[in-house]
Structure 1
């Protein structure tokens, strides 16, 4: 019963933080360390990635019409634009896909720790504030996904690749990258949602293969529960974010990241001194 409650809490954390640019993986690792579920470390490492499937299904449900190139409600031109959008998503997914497959184990070993997470939270928090201040009096040059060039897609893809380091935030990194090259906040956020579909499905599949699909009945049940909870909270988080950025910038998330990163570093230092 206690593990069920802990998984529900982790599902809530994933659903809220996956789409806000504050690092869902970083939050899951940190909250998991506090809750200390009784599952094995190998299972929890896989769980923290695969639970994102629930979150990504929220994107599919909310944007199903926009993502569906076969919709009978679309004109032929709209269907063509949908296919073009998917091609753009795949192009931008290439950098993270290559690095994720080749260096997943190395990245896990080096960066799945409190201090690297805290550092990346702070670094990208500062970046959000700097980029938003720079863009304050600048009109975005890209206000539609269809206006994204191949060069822009690859730049956004490189920023998504950097998010393989925990604490960076996949959505945070890709949004920062998009803002830097003149993409509007709304398009940056929406394209980030779509870009997450192949990235998160691919990452989940890779983790499942490495774990070996060797679940006990209880573990499988907890994994499904986490996905369901993260789905429900993701729907709320996505709608909140899209409404929020129509009237506000991303700086509040930058300040949050800096404060959280500072607290983690302070806690880590105190723990070492006490030990």
Structure 2
């Protein structure tokens, strides 16, 4: 009756050998192709370093004015712009400016990369049910896999540093971008597409002049969720050398520094609220514009 109480499993030796073969195969792959993969990601490293240098070396009044200009241009809301100003001033006052700028530069590069990769995949999914059936299970795995697990293959391939952390953050954060791009394009009114066909628009013109503009509010929601998930990954990515607000939090956990952890955690929350309010308000403005055009 042991089989009734204990689930039958693979023999211990066979399981150990299987794990050993998989681990050795992956190590062999990293030894043979690690340098090639690092060279492939070298431009990404240069972009990330340039972004971080700009954010940390530019005087804080200029960065503050730039962020406020972006917030105002996207939202046209004095309340949101004032909230951004207060958040930035508090971050600077509590001596977290440099770490915050490093985190913002990481989120910026991560968002650009997620849009560059996620938008074309979302478009392909919207055009083909077969592609959607293939990609959806992959996205399900990416969204449910524990975030720590992403660090293992990335570190084995690229070691410790900014780029491995960035790749791990992108893998964790990109699924909403892909899903909501696909959803936004699929929700475009069929009557509008029929009207475009009647005017002789080809597939390229329909995509860039009809589907993407009408799907933009939904795509903006995807960008918003990507930013939020990237910020949630900041502390975990600091374990493999990503500089920013995550490293003081990690140090606070290791050394039981309560105030250090709370202050930097609140700074992450402040950035998250800034990004969230600005991107949501911009998405709402796009939605109202679309309703006016169709009204």
Q: TM-score, normalised by structure 2?
A: 0.30
Higher RCO (Cα < 8 Å, 6 or more apart): 1
Larger Rg: 2
Which one has the bigger helix percentage? Answer: 2
